[in-house]
Amino acid sequence: MKILGMIMAGGEGSRLHPLTAERAKPAVPFGGKYRLIDIVLSNFINSRIYALYVLTQFKSQSLTEHLQEGWRFSSILPDHFILPVPAQKRTGESWYRGTADAIYQNINLVQDRDYDLVAIFGADHIYRMDIQQKVQYHTEKQADVTISAIPVPVDQAHQFGVIQVDKAGQVIGFQEKPKNPTPIPDRPNLAYVSMGNYLFNAKFLTEVLFSDADKAESSHDFGKDILPSVYGNHAVYAYDFATNRVPDITEEEIGYWRDVGTIGSYWEANMDLRNVKPIFNLYNRKWPIKTNSFGLPPAKFVFNVEGRRGQAVNSLVSEGSIISGGIVQDSVLGRSVMVEGSAAVINSILMDRVHIGPDCKINMAIIDKDVYVPPGTVIGYDPAEDEKRFHVDKESNIIVIPKGYKFPSSK
């Protein structure tokens, strides 16, 4: 069975500003050494699906470079590729008007080869999935479309789009943030929430996209328009993500899925990595998360000239980083980070090449790449002062310092 993966990586990610000021949302760093898009790409490759198009649109340069540097197959294998596809206005004068329109504008990529199934996935969620198990479910149900769904407690489901199903798992309705969510049959305490990724029969996908393209009233979105228009007349099924098992998955990670659409959720997803037994385990060798290799030296923890010992507790420290007399606790550090003597970094995310000077105190902060924090700087302890100097996320109160930010005392 020939499967094509189409990854939606054009998201502007305005709610992640200023992390998305210079990059597309899927290119935002994650877990010290990865980017968000590495998660979905690793799921496809580990699932033995090797034909992948990545649809880009906003601020895609760093994302494209990342794909070219770290995600290349040999040209000897024609059905093994990971290729970025920029928005090209192939079908008119508009850029992508919705998720369905993004696929429609590139429908030639589906039609050019004889694919049986098209897997349409987002590029900015954190989870592990063996997609072949979803394919097997789709095939057994003889489905036209299969939607990945997460069972969540009914009292929390009002925050999401809820999928209504019958006892066989066939979709019979959709509810957008309902006050009284419909539970899963025989599971009265749970309701299905859409994960926003879909498996289509290739021929059926082509038909519904052409039908939707000419509808003036449509927003050309899978969740809002395509799926609600087909579930009553076609075989649309929900796939229970909680039944998916990848090798060596822990009990805590079963059903784990995070939408990192906000600064708060992004910070929380990174913090899920830091514990001795992390919820999302980066150390699973049988289902690895892949990314670029930069050939940097190992991380180093050393005494500084004053005899203070550099140390990290419950933290991820990426290659090339040096903790020289400082302390890092409950944090995630990117590549080539420097933390100098008597500095303390707590509950924070430091991206590549951040330099923390001596005697700094950093708490509940996200510091983007290439930032030098001058000696004695205090961040995260005086809300009023932080509001004056930095971007403070209104919902989470996390401080975000953008890429390349220059402190007033920096040269």
Count helices and strands in the chain by DSSP H and E runs: 9, 29
Give the chain's largest Cα–Cα span. Answer: 74
Q: How far apart are the first and last CA of the chain?
A: 59
Sign of CA pseudo-dihedral 84, 88, 92, 96? positive
Torsion of CA 352, 355, 356, 362, to 10 degrees: -30
Whether 54 contacts 83, CB under 8 Å: yes
146, 199 in Cβ contact below 8 A? yes
Q: Are 12 and 24 in contact (CB under 8 A)?
A: yes
Distance CA 254, CA 384 (A): 41
Round to whole Å and give the CA distance between 273 and 294: 22
Q: Give binding residues for alpha-D-glucose 1-phosphate as ranges.
A: 96, 161, 176-177, 194
Annotated binding-site residue numbers: 96, 161, 176-177, 194
User: In 3D, which of 131, 362, 348 has the Cα closest to residue 245?
Assistant: 131
